[in-house]
Amino acid sequence: MILLPVVLFAPFVGAALTPLLARYLGRRIGWWAAAVALGNTLALLTLLPSVVHGDTLRFTIPWVPLLNADLTILVDGLSLFFALLISFAGCLIMAYGRFYLDPREEHGKFFAYMLLFMGSMLGVVLIGNLIALFVFWELTSFSSFLLIGFWDRREASRYGATKALLITAGGGMAMLIGFILLQQVTGSWDLETILRQGDLIRASSLYLPILGLVFLGCMTKSAQTPFHIWLPNAMEAPTPVSAYLHSATMVKAGLYLVARLHPALSGTEAWLYLVGGVGILTLCVGGFLALGQDDLKALLAYSTVSQLGLIMALYGLGTSAGVVAGSFHLMNHAAFKAGLFLCVGMVEHETGTRRLSQLGGLWRAMPWTAVFTLVSAAAMAGLPPFGGFVSKELFYGATLDVNAGGARILFPILAVAGSALTFAYSLRLVYGVFFGRPGKPPKHPHEAPLGMRWSPLILAALNPLLGLWPNSVGHFLLGPMAAAILRHGAEIHLALWHGFGWPLLMSAMTIAAGLFIYPARSRIQHWQEEVFSRLSLDAIYDGSLRVLSQSGRGVSLSLQSGFLRRYLLWIFSFLSLVVFSTFIWDRVSLLPAEARSVLSYEGILLILTLVTSIAVVLAPRPLPAVILLGGVGYLVGILFIVLYAPDLALTQILIETVSLILFLLVIYRLPPFIPEQASRGRLLRDGLLATAVGGAVAAVILATAGQGYFPSIAEFFLRESVPGGGGRNVVNVILIDFRGYDTLGEVTVLAIALLGVYTLLAKKDTR
């Protein structure tokens, strides 16, 4: 299926071409970006019939053979739905962004970033290999950083972009460790292979670390409590970015991965309480925080947190009913939340403010925007006849099916509480903007241009369609999606009316509780402002950054002191620590495979070499130290003769003679030597470090000598020295013939160094 890599890489090609085309198209470059997304949508729709019939489409590109990692593109019901969502929402939002951006903005850069993000998200949902999935996962963090910080002259935009990057990338690192552990258990990076080994994974002692680490990455990306704090600050991005990244696509990456790994990791109480518990808590926390916001985008940001928690809770139940309900609500959320963001963008665009305290009574001036917002907010609140009502009923039914201890009672109660908060903040959004007492916005309000209205119109129209005819997506999208998650067919029964029962009663309780909570919105807002001004997760994040910055500065000053001796101290200490810890951990033997007795004259040479080496260190002046150092070299040369290596001995003696002459010439021209006064503590430290380094080197030599880790190349050089190099001195033949270019490079370096030394010595003082 050559179409699969085309769909995956088309946005990247489009992003690369966008800056070039922007020179000719100007503001119309937005149509180019929307056309790329539309082309992807149409291409993906051609795959729908095969997926509906239960086929799984694969396309494999060889990538890293050493790791048995191929770039596998996998299309089933789950990945196809997300790919369609990414492409279709991208098409609508990029068309909207063409009218939203000011003519003076850098349209080419903006839409290039949008296409880059679109391609990254497609990579996350279409790739069937954990390593490649992680690459695209981190690429979404990078591209979202560029989009959130698009207005980089604003301090708030830079802060929001950095915050989002640090939190999501940090979670990504934890997720990568989880992926590595998952590979250790299953022996594969391929998703299909991993998903077939669910029983093995759950029985493994690494199951809980895998679940915790992978879910930590999902939590940060999908803004689950307590990592939701990055999402409100990300609202400093242009509204098309908020609509695309933070309602329709990026924040759903964590939900996608939870759904994708459902067959491998679900089915345990740990899954229920971790994934389901975090989700249901996020539903309530996000709803409570949304009710107290005065900024419309902040309200929508926290409402997004709440709705993402609802979907996460449904997937966390680990049941077929939960998967079906979560998947259907994911579709509804993409429609109503993206539409709401676009509507808020139109309100801000035409009034100059997003503050609820400055708005009100706009339904006369902006009737179309009011209708779109009302429909989308009603779907979010779970009112009939919209799709949100159907998915909310499924949500209540799924929580009632939980049979695990206290969760059987707690989950339905929290579900009603969170949904009541959803109803209350939805009512506040609609009433506070379009009804009630007219506000005093900075600009005279009027309806948005026609070009900005098409996208929210289409998204708003999807809400009643999903409510009145939910089975229109049940067969083509929801059924294959649920089957891909559960790995078996799922019973799909969607209807606006499910009859009388507990879910309907819980819906009535939700509306009643929401109407009771709504009048307390001002007190809740005041309480949140008072409490969060003193203590909040944001304050903890900011304080942690300050501590990290100060600690990093202290470490940098300690390590980057500007003194060579300090650098050598850290390098040699680390080297010794690594060598000795490795030897102790792996219990490496220092005894050679074969050993012979040391002859008396060999022992005398070794003792003389040791004594001379110690004398070099203890020499009071440079001249005797250099002479003694030369003596060490000559003794090593004699040792080579004793060990029947005359060619090595000759080379060693020649090099030692040249080095000794050079050192003596340099010392002759140096100013008088003034010995450095060092404390006993420093001398003791340096002595211990020198002994440790020498011991480490000796240990490595002893551990490797005679072990035969690799076949010896000595026989080749001995055999080819005369016919290949024309000489019997094997060392010289190696230096001159077999590795002549390497030797030439070394000679060149030495010549340059000598030239530099000569220049410094010959230069006269011109002061």
Question: Is residue 282 a contact partner of residue 251, using CB atoms and an 8 Å limit?
Answer: no
Mean pLDDT on 51-76: 85
Whether 502 and 396 have beta carbons less than 8 Å apart is answered as yes
pLDDT of residue 271: 94
pLDDT in tens, 605-641: 889 998 998 898 888 888 888 899 999 999 999 988 8
pLDDT at 650: 86
Q: Is the pLDDT confidence value at 393 over 70?
A: yes
Q: Which of 335, 337, 336, 311 is nearest to 324 (CA)?
A: 311
Residue 534 predicted with pLDDT over 70: no
Q: What is the mean pLDDT of the chain?
A: 89
DSSP state, 406?
A: T
**What is the enclosing helix (H) or strand (E) of 81?**
helix 77-100
Question: Tokens for 477?
Answer: 């999208």
* For residue 767, pLDDT beyond 60: no
H or E element that contains 57:
strand 57-64
Instruction: Tell me what the mean pLDDT of segment 573-593 comes to.
Output: 83
pLDDT in the model for residue 394: 92
User: In the chain, what percentage of residues exceed pLDDT 70?
Assistant: 97
SS3 assignment for 603-663: HHHHHHHHHHHHHHHHCCCHHHHHHHHHHHHHHHHHHHHHCCCHHHHHHHHHHHHHHHHHH
Give pLDDT, residue 707. Answer: 63
**pLDDT higher than threshold 90 for residue 64:** no
Higher per-residue confidence, 762 vs 143? 143
Where does 85-224 show beta strands of DSSP type E?
none
- 481, 492 contact by CB (below 8 A): no
What element of type H or E holds 69? strand 69-75
Least confident of 18-22, 195-199, 254-258, 526-530: 526-530
Task: Measure the CA–CA gap between 146 and 114, rounded to whole angstroms.
Answer: 9
- Mean per-residue pLDDT for 252-266? 94
Res 764 pLDDT > 70: no
- In this predicted structure, the answer to whether residue 766 has a pLDDT above a threshold of 60 is no
Other beta carbons within 10 angstroms of residue 374's beta carbon come to 18
Q: Closest Cα partner for 76 from 53, 61, 60, 55?
A: 55
pLDDT on residue 122: 95
pLDDT value of residue 708: 62
State the Cα–Cα distance between residues 414 and 409, nearest whole angstrom: 9
Q: Tell me the pLDDT band of 161, cut-offs 50, 70 and 90.
A: very high
pLDDT 10s digits, 491-510: 788 888 877 888 899 999 99
Please give the pLDDT value at position 269.
Answer: 92
Query: What is d(CA 693, CA 690) in angstroms, rounded to the nearest whole number?
Result: 5
Instruction: Indicate if the pLDDT at residue 763 is higher than 70.
Output: no
> What is the tens place of the pLDDT at every residue in 94-122?
999 988 888 888 999 999 999 999 999 99
User: Does residue 729 surpass a pLDDT of 90?
Assistant: no
246: pLDDT strictly greater than 70 = yes
Model pLDDT, residue 227: 93
What pLDDT shows up at residue 523?
Answer: 86
DSSP state of 478: I
* pLDDT tens profile 437-476: 888 888 888 898 888 889 999 999 999 999 998 888 878 8
pLDDT band at 687 (very low <50, low <70, confident <90, very high): confident
pLDDT at position 684, please? 87
User: Which comes out higher in pLDDT, residue 328 or 498?
Assistant: 328
In the chain, domain spans: 266-560, 713-767
pLDDT recorded at residue 706: 59
**pLDDT computed for residue 642 by the predictor:** 87
Mean pLDDT of 396-412: 87
206-241 per-position pLDDT tens digit: 999 999 999 999 999 999 999 999 999 998 889 899
pLDDT at 663: 84
pLDDT bucket at 746, cuts 50 / 70 / 90: confident
How much is the pLDDT for 596? Answer: 67
pLDDT at residue 142 in the model: 94
In this prediction, residue 593 carries a pLDDT of: 59
Confidence of residue 744 (pLDDT cuts 50, 70, 90): confident
Question: What was the pLDDT predicted at 268?
Answer: 92
Cβ 478 vs Cβ 367: under 8 Å: no
State how far Cα 495 lies from the chain centre: 39
Task: Tell me which of 2-6, 262-266, 311-315 is least confident.
Answer: 2-6
Segment 311-327 mean pLDDT: 93
pLDDT for the residue 709: 65
Percent of the chain with pLDDT over 90: 52
Structure confidence at residue 592 (pLDDT): 66
pLDDT band at residue 146, thresholds of 50, 70 and 90?
very high
pTM: 0.80
Q: Return the top range by mean pLDDT from 62-71, 172-181, 564-573, 576-585.
A: 172-181
| Band of residue 63 on the pLDDT scale cut at 50, 70, 90 | confident
CB 587 within 8 A of CB 580: no
Q: What is the mean pLDDT of residues 56-85?
A: 87
Asked if residues 645 and 652 have their Cβ atoms less than 8 Å apart, the reply is no
